[in-house]
Amino acid sequence: MGSLILFLSGGLFLGWSLGANDAANVFGTAVATRMVRFKMAAVVASVAVILGAVYAGSGAAGTLGRLGAITTLPGAFTVTLAAAISVFFMTRSGLPVSTSQAIVGGILGWNIYAGHMVNYTVLSKIFMSWVSSPIIAAVFGFILFYIMRFLIKRLHIHILRRDLYTRIAFIISGAFGAYSLGANNIGNVMGVFVPINPFPPVTFASGWGFSGVQLLFLLGALSISVGIFTYSKRVMETVGSDIFKLSPITAFIVVLSSALVLFLFASEGLHDWLVQRGLPALPLVPISSSQAVVGSVVGIGFARGMQNIRYNLLIKIGLGWIATPLVAGVLCFFLLFFVENLFLLDVR
Amino acid sequence: MSRLFKQTAYLVADIDTFLDNISKAGILFGLALKEYLEDEPDRFHTRLDEIAELESDSDDLRREIRHKLYSKMLIPESRGDVLSVLENIDNVIDTTKKIVFQIDIEQPKICESLKKDFQELVTTSQNALDFTVKAARAFFKDSDIINDFVHKVYFYEHEADKIEELIKRKVFSSNDVTELAERMHIRDFATYVATLSDESQAVCERISVAAIKRSL
């Protein structure tokens, strides 16, 4: 049991940092503008992340499994640890980083170390998703901006009532965003442990229960919740006041459009529905919520006539696609070498 | 959540009542000065009392709105702007009261040849105030039409300045008023009345800035 917890700790650490950093993308502006209190944001985000991870997390996690099916606990531990360390140090250095990109880098590092062929079809699908997700978020931001502007012009809602509705909208869209974050990003935290899942299914007397994978995701989601409660407040205040100076309504548009993008790349139900009708469906891939947020801010900037667009952020996004997986991959390769030769553990 | 809906509804009603008071004060100001110029002291005093009461009510209301905005954590992002707009508008009703009290204390003698010009100055200042209240209502409900009212306030303020200058020129060149002290008194009276449109313009500038900050 002790060794199991030790091996899962890499993923749990990654989950904690995801909760600390990415929850700010969902509720950051709402908390920083004091539209939603932190306690309320943390509770809503935690519950929604757990629901999303447990009930809709398998789609995006499955894609990571196809990129590299790690078959030993020490191997999975090393991959998640390498990703977590990369995220931690790159964040501290002020570099753009995403857990999705770090874990993919880690898995690629494992593939190379273990001598497995990299599945380039899956890899290209993942890379295309990273490139397309901020663009889709920008399109959503652009469209939602016009819809909101139209509604405000038409409905003549009193400033005070508008603020009240915006608060409610923040909570609902934040819950949706956190649900989508859980569904989309739980694969980063626990995806590599799925092929070697140590948990048996649990069924309660009423017949209701959890599969082994759901229990694994529940554990990962709990670590995300701990990250939200223990560290995200500071990050939320920074994100809300530093990255974008938006009005509450435009901040709501950012939250909603990035939540929609996360949902599109995570929902198996939507994916299957589109495929059944012969419509093009987006691949189920873990994407970066931070980049979705930046994408939607850019979309709003375009809708406002190219205002508030910070082009250096766009360059940083492009840098993140290459630099983060590279750093995590190289680090993973070396860590695997040490774990295998120093601790004599089977990582392949 | 239902408590928040109720608090918001009460506050919306308070703000509406506050703006109604300002609008009413503008009408009473016009009537009071008309009655003063027509030499109706009793009716003038009734108007003066009404304006004083309205001003006091508005002060209480403004304090209550400020208290509610802060204690109930409403519109945290822009409550500073909202309060600043309301406090600036409150200066307008204060000005109407000050002008009317000043007249009551100093009793300036307006000669017949200037009464028409003074009446015009009062009407113009009153129009500036009226459109200021409309701009404030638009700030709360429909910010797209604020400029329609703001530019009218600027227009009336400019007109009031012109009439004020005309009165001053007339009073110093007319033979109807011979004493220098009386001339200076009438000149000051013209300046007092015109401050109402100046205050209205200042409020509109505040409203415009707040509206830009609130825009999407």
Give the number of domains in chain A: 1
- For residue B211, the distance in angstroms to the closest alpha carbon of chain A comes to 11
The Cβ-side half-sphere exposure at A324, using a 13 Å CA radius, reads 28
* Cα A84 to Cα A202: distance, rounded to the nearest angstrom: 29
- CA dist A305 to A137, A145, A301, A317, Å? 17, 12, 6, 22
Contact between A218 and A186 under an 8 Å Cβ cutoff? The reply is: no
Alpha carbon A49 to chain centroid, angstroms: 10
Q: Is A237 a domain residue?
A: yes
Give the pLDDT band (50/70/90) at residue B107: very high
Tell me the one-letter amino acid at A324.
T
From the list B11, B76, B141, the residue facing A34 with the nearest CB is B76
pLDDT for A89: 82
Mean pLDDT to the nearest integer, A49-75:
88
Q: Is A302 a domain residue?
A: yes
Q: Is A68 a domain residue?
A: yes
Tell me the one-letter amino acid at A282.
L
- Asked casually if ipTM beats, i.e. exceeds, 0.85, the reply is no
pLDDT for A61: 84
- CA dist A92 to A35, A88, B194, Å? 28, 6, 61
Give the pLDDT band (50/70/90) at residue A60: confident
Q: Does the pLDDT of residue B118 top 90, yes or no?
A: yes
Q: Is A347 a domain residue?
A: no
Q: Is A170 a domain residue?
A: yes
> In a mutagenesis test of the A interface, which of B8, B77, B137 is the best target, namely the one with the most A β-carbons within 10 Å?
B77
Mean pLDDT to the nearest integer, A285-307:
85
pLDDT for A334: 94
Residues of B127-152 as b/e, b for ≥16 C-beta within 10 angstroms?
A: bbbbbbbbbbbbbbbbbeebeebbeb
Mean pLDDT to the nearest integer, A297-306:
85
Q: Does the pLDDT of residue A182 top 60, yes or no?
A: yes
- For residue B134, the distance in angstroms to the closest alpha carbon of chain A comes to 14
Give residue A57's domain range.
2-342
Q: Does the pLDDT of residue A133 top 70, yes or no?
A: yes
Q: Is A348 a domain residue?
A: no
Lowest mean pLDDT among A110-124, A292-306, A323-337, B153-167: A292-306
Contact list in B for residue A160 (CB cut-off 8 A) is: 8, 11-12, 15, 74-75, 140
Mean pLDDT to the nearest integer, A192-206:
86
From the list A33, A156, A168, the residue facing B142 with the nearest CB is A156
* Cα A272 to Cα B212: distance, rounded to the nearest angstrom: 45
Q: Does the pLDDT of residue A246 top 80, yes or no?
A: no
Mean pLDDT to the nearest integer, B166-187:
88
